[in-house]
Structure 1
Amino acid sequence: MKQISFLLAVLICFAGFAQTEQLPDTILVQGLNEVVVKGEKPQVKGQNGIMVVDLPGIVKDKPVTNVLDALGHLPGVVDNNGMIGLAGASDVTIILNGEPTNMPVQNLYQLLYSTPVDRLKNVEVMYAAPAKYHVNGAVINVVLKTPSPLDGLQGQASMGYNQAHYGSYGVGLAATYAVGKWAFDINCSFSRTKSWNREESFSNHLYDGTRTMIEEDNRRIGRNLSNLIYASAAYNFSQRSKISVVYNGQITSSISRKSITTGTLGSTLNDSRYGAPITYHNFAVNYTAPFGLSIGGDYTNYGENRTQHLYSLPSYQELVTTTNVQSVNRIHFYIDQTHNIGGVELNYGAEYRHARDNSRQTYQLPAQMGFDNNLKEDIADVYIGMQHSFRCGLSLSANAGIEYYRNGDGHSWNFIPSLGGTYYKTPKSIFQLNFTSQRIYPSYWELHGGTSNLNDYSMVIGNPNLLPYLNYAMQFSYIFRQKYVATLYFQYGDKTSAQLPYQSPNELKLIYQTINMDYRRTFGMNINVPFNVGDVWNAAAVVNVFNQREKADKYHDISFDNSKWIFYGALDNTIRFSQSCPVALSVDFAYISPSLQGLASLSGIWKIDAGIKWQFSKKRCCELVLKANDIFNGWSPSMSINHAGQDYRMNVHDMTRNLKLAFIWRFNGFRPKETSIDTSRFGTGK
């Protein structure tokens, strides 16, 4: 039936070409040649150190239903199984409509995934974000269409099914409504997820002068129900003044996480049980005054209660029982002021964050000490910045900030500068230069030094001595004909951190612990080339070649200095048989050559994705999307370590291959709202 429906859709498209008008034989018709002017909407514009990308136009015919998937098609962006990375930047922050957000990554991605793509207006890519965004480093700013009273109630309902090793499904509803000076948005979703992972490891462990080969086969299964809701209300006093209130929340319940390990040391079952749902709540308020003042704040609450049981199989003898509890309360305030003085935009402001993390780990078995800590963290910064455009086509943006960081008894001061410049004389050639610095913080749980037993051989250990690290980055971009983008980049992470397996010399234990290295240095070039063949084939080729070096003089009790040239290539293809055809096909290819992480070497990975999108019903308000990701299941790397007595290899057999089916129904010309969260520092499984 699927093949018949597809063939009918194709025949309907081609039928349009066969229609001709029959004229009487007695009438002679002389047709005049038409004058056709064809234009192409710019995909990328440059202004004030910002790349403005027409992302809705890029993904128009692709089998993309949500904002998260759409971001994977941004020039310079790599979508690695839903994790967004930006070429030339070690880390990227996603914000909404230029407003500061203080939300964790897992919740952010879940919310982006549940948000429909049709609300997108454009996307701004900033390698050096202005300080007024209260984000250091690279930023992707998602700009949305704003509902107006003329639109009335608009909405979209969706349902989807994802078949990987196991099946998962979800439903969602998004709606906007504007009346008078009020605007309301709501986005809620429900999903049931079941996941599967598998790794085989071979650890040739040197202990007490003897090598012991420890083989393990680890299989993990996870289940959960996730409820997510985003709601906002905004009141516009005038075109330049408004107040908004936003709530972001996610409740994850019915959680089950089990892993079975079989191997040299026997078999174990690791069973994690949750005494209550994992909860995340964020409330935010922002007020913008007509004279350039912006003031706001938000409150975040996160809670998790997990008990881990490690059993020996087949006897089910209990080896380890621990309870991990985390409760984080965080407040955040900011104030910004902008002036326009003789064509120069001057902005300055201040920001303060305070977090209180109440966490504890209790051992029921074996009898040993845990911890019960109350960790307090304070981050305060002030900044000043300016922005100006010169008649010669040059525009500059410069910012300087001073940050104070305190965690427990430790504290530090940091100077955080950034600079962005654009030379834009004609649309044919645009040049951009950016420099920025960014401070990256560890997760709260790691700082407590807790432990987690993965099985009878492997364990994760926290690190109370783990330090935040500074990352410096510079990018030089050339935008040709507002379409083709080439970027030279350099990154340097001072005291950057990594978590890798380490064979303990004191016992037969494999330890995973996040430790600060000396540095990570990367330089390279990324090129993005979109092209069309008529109105049928739309494609984009991406090439990223870079050199990566990671060095540590003291990583546990060893040192390493590892470097490698790495290649990333991708080709996205979209085929549409005519402008009026309701069916579009896509076939995408991606490849990453062998790479590295710390002292570990990673194998090359590759994937092929394919999809079909069918728009139907009156005004094409219904949409059916079928997409197969990583058809040959080749997007999982193997890892090997053979250095300074460490001899370890891991083969990953994760099920990255999956088949997604989604149905979408839009009413009243809906253009849905985008939202975001960042939970990267929360959770007890770090």
Structure 2
Amino acid sequence: MNQFFTIHFSVKLLITVFFISTCPIAVLAQIQLNSKVVSEDNKPLLGASVVVLNPADSTLLTGTITDEKGEFAFNNLKKRDFILHVSFVGYQTKMIASSVFKNNTKPIILSSSDNKLKEVTVAKARNVVKIEENKIIFNTQTLSETRAASNAFELLDYVPGLLVQNDQVSVVGSSRVTLVINNKITNMSMSQALNFLRSAPASDVKNIEYYFVAPKRFNVHGALINVELKHGIEKGKYSGNVSGNYLRGRKNSYNGNMNFSVSKGKFDLQGIVQHEKNENLNKQKISTFITSDSKSSLKQDMDMNYDKSKQLYSLNPRFNINENSYIDLQYSFIPDKNKVDTYSDVNLNTKLNTVNTVSKNTSLGNSDYQNIALNYKVSDANFGISLTNYQDPTDQSIYILNDLSDFDLDYTTHSTQDIMELNAFANNTSSITKGKSSLEYGISYKKIENKSTYKKQLAQSRFRLTEDRANAYLSLNYQFSPKLSSVFALELEYDKLNFTDKKKQEEFDVVNDYFVFPTLDMTYVASNNHIFKYNFTSFSDYPSFWDLTPNTWSLTPYASVQGNSSLKPQKNYNSQLVYIFKGKYILVFSADLSHDWITQVPFNSEDGYSINYQTINIDKNYTTSMALVVPFSIYKPINSKFTTSISRNQQTDNSHDNYSIDKTNVNFYFSLNNSITLNKTKQIFADLNAYYASGRPQGFYDLDDSFNVDASLRMSLFSNTSLLFSCKDIFNSKTPDAKTQFVGQKNDFKFDFDTRRISLGFIYNFGEKIKMRKETSDLKPSDRFQRN
């Protein structure tokens, strides 16, 4: 019923929007505008972008480009106040109010800008500001003033093309995304970065921009979102904020965050302190049927009690040599404590008898992550080096709690990981032709050593993984015309991954090969209302170190997770065609192909009754999809965004002797996000968001339908303090059940996860704003350390 309501409500809204948009509008008085755009030496500028904006909310009214004489004209323009936005590649943008323009009979003169490749055109609809270096930039000033957003995180939800759900953010049509802040890769996880943005006021966000293809200098793959914060004014000042949230589900959780900035002379210091404490209770039922024996089955009921705490301490001092050069140092320390108690009640039914086993599995882990990075920027060149250490000792105990079980032996395990990672990089950008083309090139090197041990009772094993990876890339940014620009990049990668079993005295190369990855990103601006983008990208994904370690971790007496030292890198090829209408309506067609696709599958144990989960490579995973984003407002205090997508997924594998795979699935997704202004004067806002996802594959798991409804309320108590109240997953329905059928075993998974959360939080801002840093990119530490 709720699923039907969500879809039916979304369709009604779309029909309403279509009806309103087709209603006749009274014809206003019309005027004509014409002028000429020239350079400082009075030369006409062919192809300059001239856009007419509504001064109230920066909505795009109309636009054109200049002819060979630099002239433009608007005929039959409605008589009203407006802003004329004039821009041209390599020149500074100029904005002219209607009152000034009407009294000006002279040509519009644009001043020369710097030698970097500038924007192709400006299409400043309500959110889109411009296309620059093939990224889409949104000026969030209008958003923060007219939408129910009190912090930077909430602004993300109102940017066309971005999806925010389940405390994750993604780019529509893209399977992966990296979030950066002020153009800089952070050491924070996605959840920590989003908590940081929750503590940043919406008014402090200058721009939100994203790439469908991340530039090579970031050393990441897929889409990239950059949140550009504006920090302040005078030197010798300080600023910061403190925020906190209390969350109530089946158990209590809370998090706190403090950010501060200090600036004095040429010295800046920024710091972050975060603390998270999460407790929850998840329930799971697994029914296993042995297809080769119709009389055998296994039923497992599990209660999983999670008690997790994580801290983040980060200091980032910088010495500014001059306007374009600085030395930057960043240190991060992330201690993480985890305790998971899993109580399981298992019934095994066979031809001969029925066995009941009640057990308790306790897992204790205390990991420490430390990273120190040094970055030096001079003009357009960047140099950096970083060192990361990650340690993760984990103790696990299995206790049999009843005397009727065939299991009469309790046991304990102890496993460790000790990882050292060295990163070094250098990159530079050079202008080839002023305002028309530039060349970006760089190299990077990564050295990783992972020492792991595993001890079960008296048995002990020791493993060593070493990886050497070197990359070199060349990227050409070229503008063919004022309407057409492109980025072509070629990346050469060498990777050697070596595995050593110390106990068995075995050593072999998992990978020792070269890879060449081309990338193409093209943008065509047919007019200010019609923008087209096409991109093709290719890259490798690498398995986590835990997946590569050939150990076995027990979940229950009848379920375990097993590593696989034979995993190969996954090679990805992605292609997208994007159409942007009026700067806010977005249509995306995409195709993703992965060879040696890395996924987890459930295998039968040797006795045929237990489930062993193992990560393997599958020959091919192919996905095609279409996504549509429609922002609209049917009533002034309510701003909405409707997103829908349809995907087809196919998985095939014929490389294994004992099984083959050929799976195809089509699935749908709908979401509707609503921001409601209850009282703008008193700064009281509300959100109501919902989504529905049809059954879909996730690896070898066939997920059932799912839906989710969130609601929140925010108000400003004082000029520097905000109060937030929210209820996430109101119907506790976002975690779908799942099924698998693989190699003689059929499994049904019923999940009852603790995802409904009621929270109460606050944000307090102190001090004064500080001068905004001009950030650059550095290397991202490996995300392959943590357990899956």
TM-score > 0.5 by shorter chain: yes
Are the counterparts in 2 of residues 63 and 627 from structure 1 also a CA contact under 8 Å? no
> d(CA) in 2 for partners of 1:197 and 1:80?
20
Change (3 A) 1:355 1:642: closer
Q: Name the CA distance, whole Å, in 2 between partners of 1:557 and 1:526.
A: 38
Match of 1:631, SS state, is coil
Three-state SS of the structure 2 residue aligned to 1:246 is strand
Is 1:376 the counterpart of 2:460? The answer is no
| Structure 2 match to 1:607 | 708
Cα separation, partners in 2 of 1:194 and 1:475, compared to 1, 3 Å: same
Question: In structure 2, what is the equivalent of residue 222 of structure 1?
Answer: 306
TM-superposed CA distance for 1:154, in Å, is: 1.0
Q: 2:418 aligns with which of 293, 316, 327?
A: 327
Q: How many residues align?
A: 637
User: Does residue 1:500 correspond to 2:601, yes or no?
Assistant: yes
**Which amino acid in 2 is paired with 1:356?**
E
Between 440-449 and 37-46, report the one with greater CA deviation.
Answer: 37-46
Any gaps of 5 or more consecutive residues in structure 1?
A: 1-35
1:398 aligns with 2:488: yes
Relative to structure 1, the CA distance from residue 341 to residue 608 in structure 2 (aligned partners, 3 Å threshold; closer, same or farther) is: same
Alpha-carbon distance between aligned partners in 1 of 2:680 and 2:687, rounded to the nearest angstrom = 15
Q: Deviations over 1:497-541 (max 9, x none)?
A: 111222336432201001111111111111111112454111111
Partner Cα distance (1:87, 1:300) in 2? 32
1:112 aligns with 2:194: yes
Match of 2:453 in 1: 360
The equivalent of 1:171 in structure 2 is: 256
Q: CA deviation at 1:423?
A: 1.5
CA-CA distance at 1:665 after TM superposition: 1.0
**Distance in 1 between residues matched to 2:253 and 2:713, nearest whole Å:** 20
Q: What residue number does 2:722 align with?
A: 623
In the TM superposition, what is the alpha-carbon distance from 1:491 to its structure 2 partner?
Answer: 0.8
Is the contact between residue 561 and residue 599 of structure 1 (CA under 8 Å) also seen in structure 2? no
Q: Which amino acid aligns with 1:117?
A: A
Alignment of 1:301 with 2:389, yes or no, is: yes
Deviation at 1:169, TM superposition (A): 1.4
Helix, strand or coil: the match of 2:654?
A: strand
Answer with 411-420 or 556-565: which moved more: 556-565
| Residue identity opposite 1:336 in structure 2 | N
Distance (Å, rounded) in 1 between the aligned partners of 2:141 and 2:614 = 41
Name the aligned partner's letter for residue 512 of structure 1. Answer: Y
Q: Is the 8 A contact 2:160 2:631 kept in 1?
A: no
For normalisation by structure 1, the TM-score amounts to 0.87
What does the per-residue CA deviation read over 1:28-47, in whole Å, with 9 as the maximum and x for residues that have no partner?
xxxxxxxx953336313433
- Alpha-carbon RMSD across the aligned residues, in angstroms, is 2.6
Deviations 1:619-647 (A, max 9, x none): x2110000101100110111112455331
State the distance in 1 between where 2:657 and 2:716 align: 56
**In 1, Cα distance between the equivalents of 2:311 and 2:740?**
40
Which among 571, 584, 600 is matched to residue 685 of structure 2?
584
Change (3 A) 1:629 1:431: same
The residue that corresponds to 1:11 in the other structure is none
Among candidates 56, 59, 76, match of residue 38 of structure 1? 56
Instruction: Give the Å deviation of 1:210.
Output: 5.7
> Is 355-364 or 572-581 further displaced after alignment?
572-581
Deviation of 1:678 after TM superposition, in Å, equals 6.3
Paired residues of 1:158 and 1:665 also in contact (CA < 8 A): yes
2:175 counterpart residue number: 90
1:192–1:577 CA distance, 2 compared to 1 (3 A): closer
Correspondence 1:341 to 2:451: no
- 1:239 Cα shift? 1.9
Paired with 2:386 and 2:753, the residues of 1 have a C-alpha distance of 38
Unaligned runs of 5+ in 2: 1-53, 60-125, 348-355, 499-508
What is the aligned partner in structure 1 of residue 25 from structure 2?
none
Given the alignment of the two structures, is residue 575 of structure 1 paired with residue 676 of structure 2, yes or no?
A: yes
**Is the contact made by 1:46 and 1:430 (CA closer than 8 Å) also made in structure 2?**
no
> 1:478-517, aligned counterparts within 5 Å?
478-504=579-605, 506-517=607-618
Candidates 354, 359, 370, aligned match of 1:281: 370
d(CA) in 2 for partners of 1:353, 1:339: 25
Which letter maps to 1:263?
Answer: V
Question: What is the TM-score of this pair, normalised by structure 2?
Answer: 0.76
Q: Aligned partners of 1:153, 1:178: CA distance in 2, in Å?
A: 6
CA contact (8 A) 2:237 2:768 kept: no
1:681 paired with 2:784, answer: yes
Is 1:635 the counterpart of 2:734? The answer is: yes
Paired residues of 2:637 and 2:677 also in contact (CA < 8 A): yes
Which amino acid in structure 2 is aligned with residue 340 of structure 1?
S
Pair 1:541 & 2:634 matched: no
**Gap change, CA 1:99 and 1:664, over 3 Å in 2:** closer
Query: Which residue number in structure 2 is paired with residue 127 of structure 1?
Result: 212
Residues 355-504 of structure 1 mapped to structure 2, 5 A cutoff: 355-364=448-457, 367-368=458-459, 370-408=460-498, 409=509, 410-504=511-605
Identity of aligned residues (%): 24
Q: RCO (CA 8 Å, sep 6+): is it higher in 1 or 2?
A: 1
